[in-house]
Chains A and B, each alone.
Chain A
Amino acid sequence: MVKLTIDQKEYEIDAEMSVLQACEQAGIEIPRFCYHERLSIAGNCRMCLVAMKNSPKPVASCTMPVADGMVISTNSPEVQKMRRSVMEFLLINHPLDCPICDQGGECDLQDQAMAYGWDGSRFQENKRAVKDKEFGPLVKTIMTRCIHCTRCVRFASEIAGVPELGLVGRGENVEIATYVEQALTSELSGNMIDLCPVGALTNKPYAFHARSWELKKTESVDVMDAIGSNIRIDTRGSKVMRILPRINELVNEEWISDKSRFACDGLSRQRLDNPYLRRNGRLVKVTWEEAFNAIALATKRVNGDEIAAIAGDLADCEAMTALKDLMSALGSPNIDCRQDGAHLDASVRSSYIFNSTISGIDRASALLLVGTDPRSEAPVLNARIRKRWALGSFAIGSIGCDNQLSYPVTFLGDTPKVLEELNKGKHSFSKTLIDAERPMIILGQGALARPDGATILFRSRQIAEKYGAVNNNWNGFNILHKAAARVGGLDLGFVPQDGGLNVTNIIEGARNGSVKIVYLLGADEINTSNLGKAFVIYQGHHGDVGANRADVILPGAAYTEKNATYVNTEGRVQLSQLATFPPGEAREDWTIIRALSEVLGHTLPFDNLRQLRARMLEINSIFLNIDQVAPAVWKRFGSSGRLENSQIKCGHSNFYMTDPISRASETMAQCTDTFLRTNQGKTGTDG
């Protein structure tokens, strides 16, 4: 700790801090453009200048470390004049186009010009203009507005791990550019829009659609992956205009993936806004009553165990609770939330959650990835791994995935054989794990969604135990889910009940006729063509593959349209909030099931969200602790058996389209076109 004086007051400040941080701690605002808490310090905007006693020149407070006895002044007339002057310089080449700039209203430059600038300029020469750059379908550039703070450059190289942006040229001719123009190949690129303190980088799909002050802001959580990133949904009227990250140090820091941010245009396309019923092979619009009656008629003809339900990747806990209760009232044990057929064990919580927690990655000392490509499955988590790697001495090995991640990874092989070798301590990576104080294993769905998934789970547990990844202070055994609904579903026990069928058997049963009714709660990732002659009820929000096969469609609400509970891959219970109402006749999902239960003669005992959540608590007490992760008890899980000698598949074949919402999104289609099909050449059907 050091003692220093800021504005005539003495403070005791941590000796590792900079003057800017010290001022912040003292509650004094220091204007800045280039400084950002999560990026390296550049010190090139000069906006944070303060006066320091005995220094002939002003000091950039972001780069100046605190020292004992320092006397800093942040509000003297001298400092105010310095800020005005810096502002005048920054505005020399900045266009006066705030009225047509998308950043207008939420622009650091605008705000700070008002607070610290002055109302004139002595610049008589021509302003310079800079050619706009092509950064792909997500980030729009208006480079003349750039003030060269290099936040985007630092974000790309430090956080995203794609060193593609740079500051080229010098002096008057300096520009932000890529090496030979190309789209940014990062799945976190949208965060540069938030980082840009001016309107140089803006949201391309959102361009000229709304002004920041006319938007209603709703705090919610994301469901595009299993991270549960905290988001803010900006709406105007009934339309989601854009999605921004909220800061949550424990989950997403302040980043979200491009899919989380840009897939929101999919929310207003391909929507199911009316109940449908298949009559003579065609889906026709019907009333809720007709749809429910058709279901009632179908259920009357069959036994309880001939009915099955599958919950999809975006299902919320409330809907799953209601559906689970309805199915048990109907006498069906056939329910499953593991659409991909992953061998997850719902009875042991520590076997299906990310035990270390996401922030725990910061403390890990070595990492073994098994059947997971975190870059496409959870870009924000991948950035967290990169952050840990950047701190040094962090060896990372990968089984199954040799995709390029944003940090160096030792590829150990693509078959489960490697697990056996590691188990025997024979593998070259064994020593790394032995030496590591807190080793970490991340097991992906690619390793579990295969016939020998339970064995891989078993072997991975053995490895975790063998290498000391699990003890009283550290649990390095982690499952990385791809679906936002999965952990919630497992916590609710939305898995086959006594003698019930799992996903594979439900589909097989539907194909051979032993399962007569299949209730799909937003399940779109299964092979619907294998459902045979079964009567398919699809409840969901998008006209995707599930709805295509359905005999009855019950229009539900998307994640922005309901107050719902989601549990992320860590087991963190988070609440989403209704930002807009579901379109047309669509309703919040649990209310649909509740209404249906009445028609079926098995009225569910909850009439409002409070009662339903009380029921959820009855099933599992973890729903009591919102926004928290309760450590799970370590037990035995998995089953020993033979490992197959086939390749472990991982990642998404197309990161930009993984669920009904992103598949309906035009922006995500453009991304697919730009980032995934560049090498394949266009076909005749393209545009």
Chain B
Amino acid sequence: MTTQNEPSQTSKTFSFTPKIEIKALEVLQKYPEDWQASAVMPLLDLAQRQNGGWLSQAAIEYVANRLSMPLIRVYEVASFYTMYNLKPIGEHHIEVCTNLPCWLRGSDQLVQACEDFLGIKSGQTTDDGKFTMSEVECLGACVNAPMMQINDDYYEDLNVDATIKILSKLKAGSKPKTGSQSGRRSCEPATGLTSLLHQKKLLDKQHNKGKG
């Protein structure tokens, strides 16, 4: 039986912090007065960020009141998109892609590695509240498969060792290097450039600029 993923109740009231409020106003400015409801998705996102990665009832109700929308309309949006979490979530949300290209490149082992390292199953949160792990559908980085997303960052070209290294760093509180873990630049061929060789200098320059 499916059970409705109702948002968890918290006694806490919710309102945007001054810092988030500035961002919210920026979003709201984009829409005409009578069409403020269009801001529902960015506002839910801001609320989720402020609320530690998930949307509580209070947060959903705050956004609804803010946009003069019926509660159910906001809840429909929040329950439809998988990027909104309706249950408390760990500090680091590890989302391992297990769709076909990643799977062919060994995503099963990544899932196993994560589960072993964290001592939880997919969909669970560690006792210390640091990690939540889930399997997700394609995140659109197939060229660098297998990959996973942790909060806002992509980690690509993974293998078991690289995965454990990333998780260890996060556990220790430091920030691992994002992007490809095999050393390749972006989604260039794994064995180095095979075309556009005459523009290598330009590409290097652009790449370094992007880094800065």
Contact = CB atoms under 8 A, between A and B. Distances in A.
Interface in A154-209: 157, 163-170, 172-173, 175, 177-180
B80 A168 contact: yes
Contacts of A175: 2, 4
A170 B1 CA distance: 15
A164 B3 contact: no
B76 interface: yes
A157 B76 CA distance: 14
A172 to B, nearest CB: 8
Contacts of A129: 1-2
Contacts of A131: 1-4
Contacts of B6: 180
A128 interface: yes
Contacts of A166: 72-73, 75-76
Given A130-B2, A131-B3, A168-B4, A178 B72 contact: yes
A164 B4 contact: no
Interface string B69-86: 011110110011110000
Nearest to A130: B2
A168 B75 CA distance: 7
Contacts of B81: 170
A279 B60 CA distance: 66
Contacts of A128: 1-2
Contact of A177 (B1, B4, B80, B82): B4
B5 interface: yes
A170 B5 CA distance: 11
B2 A170 contact: no
A131 B1 CA distance: 7
A130 B73 contact: no
Given A168-B79, A169-B79, A179 B72 contact: yes
> Would you call the interface of chain A mostly helix, strand, loop, or mixed?
mixed
B70 A173 contact: no
A160 to B, nearest CB: 12
A37 B2 CA distance: 32
Nearest to A173: B2
Nearest to B74: A179
A167 B57 CA distance: 17
A165 B73 CA distance: 8
Contacts of A169: 2, 4-5, 79-80
Contact of A180 (B57, B79, B82): B57
- Among B4, B5, B71, max chain A CB count under 10 A is at B4
A180 B82 CA distance: 19
Interface string B1-20: 11111110000000000000
A178 B7 CA distance: 12
Contacts of B1: 128-131
Contacts of A170: 79-82
B196 to A, nearest CB: 38
- Among B5, B70, B72, max chain A CB count under 10 A is at B72
Contacts of B75: 166, 168, 179
B18 to A, nearest CB: 28
Interface residues of A, number: 20
Interface string A124-136: 0000111100000
Interface string B52-75: 000001000000000000111101
Contacts of B72: 163-166, 168, 177-179
Contacts, number: 54
Given A167-B76, A170-B80, A179 B4 contact: no
A169 B57 CA distance: 16
Contacts of B82: 170
Nearest to B9: A180
Contacts of A172: 2
Contacts of A168: 4-5, 72, 75-76, 79-80
Interface in B69-116: 70-73, 75-76, 79-82
B67 to A, nearest CB: 13
Contacts of B57: 180
Contacts of A180: 6-7, 57, 71
Interface in B176-211: none
A172 B166 CA distance: 34
Nearest to A164: B72
B107 to A, nearest CB: 21
A158 to B, nearest CB: 12
A129 B5 CA distance: 15
A494 B6 CA distance: 58
Contacts of B7: 180
Interface in B109-140: none
A163 B2 contact: no
A163 B5 CA distance: 20
- Among A168, A170, A173, A178, max chain B CB count under 10 A is at A168
Nearest to B7: A180
A411 B199 CA distance: 72
Nearest to A175: B4
Interface string A543-572: 000000000000000000000000000000
A66 B1 CA distance: 43
B4 A157 contact: no
A177 B5 CA distance: 11
A164 B154 CA distance: 38
A178 B5 CA distance: 12
A166 to B, nearest CB: 4
Nearest to B79: A168
B112 to A, nearest CB: 26
A175 B80 CA distance: 11
A169 B2 CA distance: 11
A526 to B, nearest CB: 42
Contacts of B79: 168-170
Nearest to B81: A170
A169 B5 CA distance: 8
B80 A163 contact: no
B76 A164 contact: no
Nearest to A172: B2
A457 to B, nearest CB: 38
A178 to B, nearest CB: 6
Nearest to A157: B70
B129 to A, nearest CB: 25
A164 B2 CA distance: 21
B30 to A, nearest CB: 24
Nearest to A168: B79
A163 B4 contact: no
A376 to B, nearest CB: 21
A400 B70 CA distance: 27
A409 to B, nearest CB: 16
A151 to B, nearest CB: 16
Nearest to B5: A169
Contacts of A178: 72
Contacts of A179: 70-72, 75
Contacts of B73: 163, 166
Interface in A239-293: none
A48 to B, nearest CB: 24
B120 to A, nearest CB: 22
- Among A157, A178, A179, max chain B CB count under 10 A is at A179
A130 B2 CA distance: 5
Interface in A489-510: none
28 contacts: A128-B2, A129-B1, A129-B2, A130-B1, A131-B2, A131-B3, A157-B70, A163-B70, A163-B72, A164-B70, A165-B72, A166-B73, A166-B76, A168-B5, A168-B75, A168-B76, A168-B79, A168-B80, A169-B2, A169-B79, A169-B80, A170-B79, A170-B80, A170-B82, A173-B2, A175-B4, A179-B75, A180-B7
5 closest cross-chain pairs (CB), A and B:
A163-B70, A166-B72, A168-B79, A179-B71, A129-B1
Given A166-B76, A179-B72, 10 more contacts: A131-B3, A131-B4, A163-B70, A163-B73, A164-B72, A166-B73, A167-B76, A173-B5, A180-B7, A180-B57
